[in-house]
Amino acid sequence: MLLWSLLVIFDAEIQPLTPSLADWLTLQAPSVVFEGDSIDLMCQKKKGWREIETMAYYKDGEKLHFSNEVSSFSISHAALSDSGNYHCSATAGKFVFQKSGDSRSVRIEVQELFPCPVLTVSPFWPIEGSPVTLTCKTQPSPQRSNAELQFCFFRDGRALGSSWSSSPELRVPAMWSEDSGSYWCQAETVTPRVRKQSLQSQIHVQRVPVSNISLQIWAPRGPVIEGGNLVLLCSVAKGTGNITFSWHRDATGTSVGRKTQRSLSAELEVPAVRERDAGRYYCRADNGHDPIQNKVLHIHVRSPVSRPVLTLGEPGARAVVGDMVELRCEAQSGSPPILYRFYHENDTLGNISAPSGGGASFNLSLTAEHSGNYSCEVNNDLGAQHSEVVPLTVTGTDGYRRDHVTARVLGVLCGGLGFITVALLFYYRSHKISGWLSAICPLACGLKPLTVLHDCLSHKNVQLLHHLITFNRHNQFIYSGVKHNKYWI
């Protein structure tokens, strides 16, 4: 009975020392929390209470941390998902004097440091080759306006540009069809590090078909000259992306060159063009749509003249006065028209044009002054060439040649005149006009040839209507055009 009384007295004495548990245990927590901040929780007892033996922290009723001693609990990098109701529990005292309880709940709301970025594309439907601007739109909370943001852009999982940058814009100078894909951006603060990603946007780059193709030729010296450089320029007025240009010969359709590049034009260079390269050409352009080709272009290749060869016709390098000699000049190659020029020593004998090419000839009736060196020159506006010098020796004098020829002519005439004289004697004897006949009798072949010819042809009853003496290569002559009053002789 006495023991029971003592226990009742002792219990009565300690009751004032045991208030409600929620009053002696308090959870300390930050009042304002932003993403990336640290959340520090501290469970404290009131002064005068027994030492706490165990401690635990809870969020929304779920235990976060338990310790056999007094300790704090921290969330180092707060996220929006860390928002909730927090409280702590503790046990104090030992054995029969041990008490446990929970603190009152504290509501912690983690605020957004900056909203999720939004990716914008301008223009949204880009055309190949045109620039595009990507913008990652977001901004820090006004309460944390000094937070530094940096940005990064991605396409199909790969970072674009120079990775992270303080600029919220990324300018792409030219977009191509292969740049089509899924794009997004990320934004993050430098301190504390909070990273957020935008939604993905699909970008489709539009391709422009090729159109208005043309083929042009270019040569350094103007015309296309054999041995020089030739450039074939194939171009289109419109078209985007990689364009494949190809050059073809019209006769066979064979491709003579091919280039693929992001350009509206391409060049094909022929470093040493040949005359066989002349012909009809066209080019094609293709960027994945319908290929196009230009109209056929004819390319003319001109070749300079080769060194000409001068030859002398019969009688050759040794001739006599009065001979007719043919000077022939010919270049084996060269594009027409070709101008031929003949020279005796340094004097020009004459010019001959060959519109269709080939050689040219110049005929010369020789005199004693024609001895000397002969040459020729060819020119087709691509350069002149000179032949080697060819010597020609002319023997005899002009009088010797003239008397020699005249004697041969008179030899024939005297024979004819002898026959005519006999006929005339018979005729005029029968008609008693011997006086006229006696006037003709002085014609004697023994006289000087020119005197006889002159006396015979200058008689008052004989008229010389026309005479012409020409010579062929064998120095044979032709005499024609002498007419009597009634007869041809």
Cα–Cα distance for residue pair 469/392, rounded to 1 Å: 25
Q: First CA to last CA across the chain, in angstroms?
A: 200
**Average pLDDT over all residues of the chain:** 78
The reply to whether 118-203 shares the fold of 2-111 is yes
Of residues 152 and 94, more confidently modeled: 152
For residues 172 and 363, what is the distance between their CA atoms, to the nearest angstrom?
A: 79
- What would the pLDDT profile of 190-246 be if each residue is shown by its tens digit? 888 899 999 999 999 999 999 999 999 887 767 888 888 889 999 999 998 889 999
CA angle 68, 71, 75 (to 5 degrees): 120
What DSSP character marks residue 488?
B
pLDDT of residue 398: 53
> What's the pLDDT band for 408 if we cut at 50, 70, 90?
very low
Q: For the chain, what percent of residues have pLDDT higher than 90? A: 43
For residue 215, give Cα distances in angstroms to 224, 230, 262: 15, 13, 18
Asked if the model's pLDDT at residue 158 lies above 50, the reply is: yes
Helix (H) or strand (E) holding 471: strand 468-471
Instruction: For residue 22, give the amino acid letter.
Output: A
Bridge partners of 298, per DSSP, are 280
Integer CA distances (angstroms), 304 to 96, 199, 228, 479, in order: 126, 71, 11, 47
Q: For the chain, how are helix, strand and coil distributed in percent, rounded to 5?
A: 20, 40, 40
For 244-274, write each residue's pLDDT tens digit.
Answer: 999 998 877 788 899 999 899 999 998 888 8
Q: Kindly indicate whether the domain formed by 214-299 is annotated with CATH number 2.60.40.10.
A: yes
Question: How far is the C-alpha of 35 from the C-alpha of 114, rounded, in Å?
Answer: 9
Tokens of 366: 């020789």
Class of domain 309-395: mainly beta
Residues 6+ apart with CB under 8 A from 2: none
Query: What was the pLDDT predicted at 368?
Result: 86
DSSP H helical segments within 103-162, as ranges? none
pTM: 0.52
DSSP E strands in 219-330: the ranges are 230-238, 243-249, 255-261, 265-270, 279-286, 292-293, 297-299, 309-312, 318-320, 324-330
The answer regarding whether domain 118-203 maps to CATH 2.60.40.10 reads yes
**How many angstroms separate the CA atoms of 56 and 178, rounded?**
57
> Per residue in 380-396, pLDDT tens?
888 899 999 999 988 87
Most confident of 140-154, 417-431, 461-475: 140-154
Q: What is the structure's pLDDT at 219?
A: 79
CATH for 2-111 (1.25.40.10, 3.40.50.2300, 2.60.40.10, 1.20.120.420)? 2.60.40.10
In one-letter notation, the amino acid at residue 170 is L
What stretch of H or E contains 85? Answer: strand 84-92
Secondary structure (3-state) at 400: helix
Domain spans of the chain, in order of start: 2-111, 118-203, 214-299, 309-395, 399-480
* pLDDT band at residue 314 under the 50/70/90 scheme: confident
Per-residue confidence at 303, pLDDT binned at 50, 70, 90? confident
Distance, in Å, from the CA atom of 63 to the CA atom of 115, rounded to the nearest integer, reads: 30
pLDDT at residue 426, rounded to an integer: 46
Rounded Cα distance, 201 and 223, in Å: 56
User: What φ, ψ does residue 484 adopt, rounded to 5°?
Assistant: -80, 180
Q: What residues contact residue 458 under an 8 Å CB cut-off, 6+ apart?
A: none
Least confident of 19-28, 177-186, 289-298: 19-28
